[in-house]
Amino acid sequence: MSTVDATAGWDRLIEHDRVHGSLYTDPAIYEAELERIWYRTWVFVGHVSEVPEPNDYVVKSIGPQPVIMTRDKQGEIHLLLNRCTHRANLVCDAPRGNSSAFRCPYHGWTFSNTGRLLGYPFNSGYDGREAKRELGLGRVARIGIYEGFVFGSFAEEGPTLLEHLGAAREALDRLVALSPSGELDLSAGWLQHKVKANWKMLVENETDGYHPQFVHSSIFSVAQSGIGELYGEESTALSRDLGNGHTENDLRPEFRRIGQPLGWFGTTPDRVPDYVAQLEAAKGVEQARELLIDGSPHVMLFPNLFIAEIQLFVIQPLAVDETVQHVTAVQYKGAPDMNRRMLQQTIGSVGPAGFLLADDSEMYERNQRGVHARSPEWVVLKRGTHRERLDEDGHLVGDATDEVPQRAIWRHYRRLMEAGA
């Protein structure tokens, strides 16, 4: 394909209803995205339940940057960079553990799990205590936690996490509301599924309501799943722009029409009686019934957290054409009967061998190869432009299969890229 010079203006690459193919393939654009999106905006890092005890730590990431998420002995969460401030060795070589300190294996410099430099061997070689002061571990400049979800931003200043989440905050509220204890436990471990595709292929697909009947017809047909119909021509479900690049497939209109508690999960209350009783005890019978009919959200939080009803996906770009999708099962703290089902359904559906995600991933990789073709140069995102409208909250919505979310993602993307120029 011909290349369009990005410095000539992002408006030349990103139009209202089409985007230029080079956005997925140009290494220079990828490098600019790291600086203007991944190292600036709020990015989901991990969940507090992954470090439940004082001094727990786990290695997470912000894009290609490894980040150590720690809980100090007071219980506070920190996001530290895995780089000794002396000669840049990795201070943490385990994926997770419990330790109040990290000792660099190269020369023995030791850092507390709050990032402070505690000391170094043979300290007469340095000129007094002053030397230590500036040499704490690098840290993600800002940390924000909402309902246990830990986000980090490398930018010292900018919108707050709540400003960034905006209307999409409600997705996290809805997710947590389905837990009788009001808490999630995301400690089942993450599958790491690698694809040779640009990260935006994944972001766009998460709330693409047009693909399920085609990409997933094989599993829908053999498992007698009704999911496909939620994304059909007759569906009353909505696609929605939640602002700031956050997007949604709102399936509640369909679930409310059907009116079956737990219908969204393909089961009935008598199959998970303990869970339903717990939720009724916590919320009252009426509200529990409403929550169980509405179900769990299907929302993509830009740029990297996808809440897919009973799964959470985290998108990690590693190169212009390489991305890892991390995925785990949603688990409600203290609801073992429901958790067992959510875990087993998640294992079946997602990850490298999943009935659903293996096929999505095949699509990402074929898209990535296809977009290298010389002609046409553009990716078309027109679907539903003639029927998009504002809902009662002022959000742009379209029909279930419309490309309202994809246009919304690109509008926000362009704003971020232009702001960083």
Interface of this chain with other proteins, residues 102 to 161, rule: CB under 8 A: none
Neighbours of 193 (CB within 10 A): 21
Member of 203, 363, 371, 396 binding other proteins (CB under 8 A): 363
Q: Is the dihedral of CA 139, 145, 151, 153 positive or negative?
A: negative
Cβ proximity to other proteins, 170 vs 359, nearer residue: 359
Neighbours of 393 (CB within 10 A): 10
Q: Binding of other proteins at residue 8 (CB under 8 A)?
A: no
Cβ proximity to other proteins, 14 vs 45, nearer residue: 45
**Backbone angles phi and psi of 191, in degrees to 5:** -80, 145
Q: What is the C-alpha to C-alpha distance for residues 394 and 288, in angstroms, rounded to an integer? A: 28
Q: Binding of other proteins at residue 351 (CB under 8 A)?
A: yes
DSSP H helical ranges for 166-245: 169-177, 199-206, 212-215, 217-222, 227-230
Using the contact rule CB under 8 A, the part of the chain among 68-76, 86-94, 289-297, 350-358 near other proteins is 350-358
Cβ proximity to other proteins, 135 vs 188, nearer residue: 188
In Å, what is the CA distance from 96 to each residue of 52, 187, 246, 363? 12, 11, 30, 33
Total site size for other proteins, rule CB under 8 A? 39
Q: What is the C-alpha to C-alpha distance for residues 79 and 142, in angstroms, rounded to an integer? A: 9
Using the contact rule CB under 8 A, the part of the chain among 218-226, 249-257, 262-270, 287-295 near other proteins is 218-226
3-state SS string for 153-186 = ECCCCCCCHHHHHHHHHHHHHHHHHCCCCCCECC
Member of 22, 346, 367, 401 binding other proteins (CB under 8 A): 346
Q: Binding of other proteins at residue 45 (CB under 8 A)?
A: no
Q: Report the SS3 class of residue 88.
A: coil
Question: Tokens in use for 254?
Answer: 């369909």
Q: Binding of other proteins at residue 188 (CB under 8 A)?
A: yes
Q: Which residue type occupies 36?
A: R
* Cβ atoms of residues 150 and 80 within 8 Å: no
Using the contact rule CB under 8 A, the part of the chain among 36-44, 70-78, 291-299, 342-350 near other proteins is 342-350
Member of 14, 195, 202, 293 binding other proteins (CB under 8 A): 195
Member of 73, 194, 372, 382 binding other proteins (CB under 8 A): 194
Cβ proximity to other proteins, 15 vs 365, nearer residue: 365
Cβ proximity to other proteins, 170 vs 322, nearer residue: 322
Neighbours of 291 (CB within 10 A): 18
Member of 65, 278, 361, 406 binding other proteins (CB under 8 A): 361
Closest CB 189 distance from other proteins, rounded Å: 5
Cβ proximity to other proteins, 145 vs 358, nearer residue: 358
Q: Under the rule (CB under 8 A), what is the footprint of other proteins? A: 95, 188-196, 215, 217-219, 221-223, 324, 327-329, 340, 343-344, 346-348, 351-353, 355, 358-359, 361-363, 365-366, 369
